[in-house]
């Protein structure tokens, strides 16, 4: 049972917020204690545990009253994050409309498209120059001047609440920047703060770590340690050299970070994106990702948050192997007690594989291979985010299809990164590692799906195909079960932005190519002109509306995959009592047919021809076969 379910059992008659907090604490205490002492031995850390017990009531005391009230409403409501009514967008505030105020002015735009869940990329202070897009944090709570002030943020969250918009912000839990106050003190020789990071006198221990640690940014930041001359020490920097990994073997770090986490939610944040959480625990001799201690730590954060601020939930940013991702929902006694939401990075990467190969076998194989998620948890389904697309498929599944995993990955990189003349995709190669042959892909959804090439070569057929592919992929994320998240600009088919190549602080990081400025000029013309951009926008707007109006789209853990017998086609059902939604997608550039007997058996033709919600037309059968046009997506409704 997850904590939310547990808390629902706490007497509904009790109305006093403080008493309810105490009840929540009492209910969770055994598990909190267990996780704490699993990380920090009881023998040496009893005092630290006492500190935690003092901290929790203090954090609760400081939580704003209106949020305490909202917490109770959320506990009593059903799992809001599994609702069909949610539709998300991710954006960089400065690329969208200048700053927080500018963003607030655009609430009508979100409403027009149907967006009511926003992930704002980091907005706190960061080093000048390179900052990994703000993922090198100088503070967890102080709003960077370029976005406005803390007051602007509080105003924004108030306006969001009034307009029914949920807010997600990052908690960069794995590392700080080298300018963070702790790092600065460490550099000055303060031993206490040197102990907040993994610091070493010489390279002996780092060398041991390096034997098994992979490299995250091999091109720009090879290795996992950086020498800091001021300190005369090495510090662990798994990401960029200016991002110092926090040392969670030190309980002080946990206590301080818990405080930062709760304070973040106190600003009105509904979902906290736990950034790079797979990396939270390090151990020599391992790749230091997905370690059991990392899971215990996440669960500890989660349970403390549930006690103090139960209305806020966690999203796992774990871009790891499919079978490892689901573990961030919590397993065994931690089941449902880590993160409520996780990125469906597997679906994302597999969809790009299906576009390039025009085949769906790997998609089916991999999805069937993933263990089921807990009842109360859900996915964020997306096709693009601000990061690169990694090719994290399971090798043995590629092999089962008779393909060579290395060659297959090379084909995908060639297909997307402009190494094949016939490919419609215009992507860039990211972090190619000649030592391993691994590489990743960057590019906006529209450019990767052929729109850029179609416009450049004035190829009408390619343009048509590209629009259909965009609708197909976005449509799958709307129907799959979970929160669909669209990257700002993708709703109007925004192309790659190459301007990063002229900016010294960005040019080493091609992920900036898929972080374009919001194109307001195009947006003002959407209702006036017919263009590929307006077609994409209006189709998505309509599909989002359909999703919100039909409860079959909610995530009831009811996803059924169906093999159609045609390798170009992907089909899944979202059954709900007597109702249901059957999604059928053609990933091929040619029309395809599938047998219809199984669809009839599922009851989709029992009341005559079913309605396809995408086209708004009934679907008839001329023979026993159902025909799908190139890149067509059907949403068949059973009512």
Q: Are 403 and 505 in contact (CB under 8 A)?
A: no
Residue nearest ligand GLC, CB atom distance: 135
Chain-centroid distance, C-alpha 493:
20
Least Å distance, CB 126 to ligand GLC, is: 11
Roughly how many angstroms between the first and final C-alpha of the chain, as a whole number? 32
* Interacting residue ranges for ligand GLC, rule: CB under 6 A: 132-133, 135, 172, 239, 275-276, 317, 386-387
- Residue closer to ligand GLC by CB (options 170, 465) is 170
Cβ neighbours for 416, distance < 8 A, ≥ 6 positions apart: 352, 356, 389, 423, 425, 427, 441, 443, 448
Least Å distance, CB 143 to ligand GLC, is: 19
Least Å distance, CB 239 to ligand GLC, is: 5
Least Å distance, CB 234 to ligand GLC, is: 20
Residue entry with tokens 């219809």: 596
- Residue closer to ligand GLC by CB (options 387, 567) is 387
- Residue closer to ligand GLC by CB (options 81, 171) is 171
Question: Considering all CA atoms of the chain, what is the largest pairwise distance in Å, rounded to the nearest integer?
Answer: 79
Least Å distance, CB 250 to ligand GLC, is: 20
Alpha helices in 224-344 (DSSP H): 251-266, 292-308, 322-325
Phi-psi region of 517 (alpha: psi -120 to 50; beta: other; left: phi over 0): beta
Q: Are 569 and 476 in contact (CB under 8 A)?
A: no
SS3 625: strand
- Residue closer to ligand GLC by CB (options 320, 451) is 320
DSSP for 549-605? H-GGGS-SS--EEE--S-TTEEEEEEEETTEEEEEEEE-SSS-EEEE-HHHHHTTTT
Least Å distance, CB 297 to ligand GLC, is: 17
Active centre residues (catalytic) = 275, 317
Least Å distance, CB 514 to ligand GLC, is: 11
Measured from the Cβ of residue 503, the count of other Cβ atoms closer than 10 Å reads 10
Least Å distance, CB 487 to ligand GLC, is: 12
What is the DSSP pairing of strand 579-586 with strand 617-618?
A: unpaired
CA distances from 126 to 129, 212, 531 (A): 9, 30, 39
SS3 62: helix
- Residue closer to ligand GLC by CB (options 276, 488) is 276
- Residue closer to ligand GLC by CB (options 442, 534) is 442
Least Å distance, CB 329 to ligand GLC, is: 19
Q: Are 638 and 580 in contact (CB under 8 A)?
A: yes
SS3 269: coil
Least Å distance, CB 65 to ligand GLC, is: 33
Give the CA angle between residues 190, 193, 199 to the nearest 5°. 95
- Residue closer to ligand GLC by CB (options 99, 317) is 317
- Residue closer to ligand GLC by CB (options 264, 492) is 264
| Cα–Cα distance measured from residue 492 to residue 477, given in angstroms and rounded to the nearest whole number | 17
Angle between helices 42-62 and 251-266 (to 10 degrees): 10
- Residue closer to ligand GLC by CB (options 40, 512) is 512
| Cα–Cα distance measured from residue 431 to residue 509, given in angstroms and rounded to the nearest whole number | 8
Residue entry with tokens 């601000």: 386
- Residue closer to ligand GLC by CB (options 71, 509) is 509
Measured from the Cβ of residue 498, the count of other Cβ atoms closer than 10 Å reads 12
Cβ neighbours for 606, distance < 8 A, ≥ 6 positions apart: 600, 638
- Residue closer to ligand GLC by CB (options 137, 417) is 137
Q: Which of 85, 248, 267 is nearest to 169 (CA)?
A: 267
Least Å distance, CB 543 to ligand GLC, is: 27
Q: Which of 258, 262, 269, 274 is nearest to 309 (CA)?
A: 262
Nearest 5°: phi and psi at 605? -110, 10
SS3 165: coil
Q: Which of 539, 552, 554, 549 is nearest to 615 (CA)?
A: 539
| Cα–Cα distance measured from residue 608 to residue 603, given in angstroms and rounded to the nearest whole number | 10
């Amino acid at each position: 049972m997850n904590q939310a379910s547990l808390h629902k059992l706490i007497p509904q008659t009790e109305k006093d917020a403080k008493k309810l907090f105490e009840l929540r604490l009492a209910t969770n205490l055994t598990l909190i204690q267990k996780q704490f002492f699993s990380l920090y031995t009881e023998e040496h850390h009893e005092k630290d545990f006492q500190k935690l017990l003092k901290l929790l009531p203090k954090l609760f005391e400081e939580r704003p009253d209106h949020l305490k009230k909202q917490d109770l409403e959320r506990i009593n409501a059903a799992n809001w994050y599994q609702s069909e009514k949610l539709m998300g967008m991710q954006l960089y505030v400065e690329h969208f409309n200048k700053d927080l105020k500018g963003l607030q002015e655009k609430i009508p735009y979100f409403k027009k498209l149907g967006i009511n869940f926003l992930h704002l990329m980091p907005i706190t202070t960061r080093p000048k120059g390179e900052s990994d897009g703000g993922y090198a944090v100088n503070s967890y709570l102080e709003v960077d001047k370029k976005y406005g002030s803390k007051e602007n943020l509080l105003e924004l969250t108030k306006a969001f609440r009034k307009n029914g918009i949920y807010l997600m912000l990052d908690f960069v839990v794995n590392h700080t920047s080298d300018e963070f106050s702790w790092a600065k003190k460490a550099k000055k020789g303060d031993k206490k703060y040197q102990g907040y990071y993994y610091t070493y006198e010489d390279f002996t221990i780092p060398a041991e770590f390096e034997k098994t640690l992979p490299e995250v940014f091999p091109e720009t930041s090879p290795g996992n340690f950086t020498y800091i001359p001021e300190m005369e020490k090495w510090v662990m920097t798994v990401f960029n050299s200016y991002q110092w990994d926090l040392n969670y073997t030190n309980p002080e770090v946990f206590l301080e970070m818990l405080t930062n986490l709760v304070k973040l939610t106190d600003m009105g944040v509904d979902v906290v994106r736990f950034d790079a959480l797979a990396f939270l625990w390090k151990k020599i001799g391992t790749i230091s990702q997905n370690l059991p201690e990392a899971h215990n730590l996440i669960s500890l954060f989660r349970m403390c948050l549930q006690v103090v601020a139960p209305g806020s939930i966690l999203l796992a940013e774990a871009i790891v192997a499919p079978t490892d991702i689901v573990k961030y929902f919590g397993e065994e006694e931690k089941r449902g007690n880590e993160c409520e939401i996780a990125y469906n990075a597997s679906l994302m990467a597999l969809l790009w594989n299906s576009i390039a190969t025009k085949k769906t076998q790997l998609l089916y194989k991999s999805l069937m291979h993933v263990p089921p998620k807990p009842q109360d948890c859900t996915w964020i389904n997306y096709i693009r985010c601000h990061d690169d697309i990694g090719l994290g498929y399971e090798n043995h599944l590629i092999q089962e299809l008779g393909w060579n995993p290395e060659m297959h990955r090379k084909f995908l990189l060639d297909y997307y990164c402009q190494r094949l003349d016939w490919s419609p995709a215009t992507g860039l190669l990211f972090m190619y590692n000649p030592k391993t042959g691994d590489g990743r892909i960057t590019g906006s959804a529209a450019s990767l799906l052929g729109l850029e090439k179609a416009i450049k070569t004035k190829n009408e057929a390619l343009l048509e195909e590209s629009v259909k592919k965009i609708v197909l992929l976005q449509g799958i994320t709307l129907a799959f079960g979970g929160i669909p998240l669209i990257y700002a600009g993708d709703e109007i088919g925004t192309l790659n932005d190459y301007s990063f190549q002229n900016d010294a602080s960005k040019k080493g990081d091609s992920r900036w190519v898929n972080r374009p400025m919001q194109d307001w000029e195009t947006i003002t013309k959407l209702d006036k002109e017919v263009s590929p951009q307006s077609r994409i926008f209006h189709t998505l707007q309509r599909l989002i509306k359909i999703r919100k109006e039909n409860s079959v789209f909610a995530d009831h853990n009811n996803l059924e995959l169906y093999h159609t017998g045609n390798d170009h086609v992907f089909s899944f059902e979202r059954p709900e009592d007597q109702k249901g939604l059957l999604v059928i997608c053609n990933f091929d550039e040619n029309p395809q047919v599938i047998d219809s007997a199984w669809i009839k058996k599922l009851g989709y033709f029992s009341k005559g021809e079913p309605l396809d919600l995408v086209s708004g037309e009934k679907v008839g059968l001329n023979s026993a076969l159902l025909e799908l046009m190139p890149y067509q997506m059907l949403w068949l409704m059973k009512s």
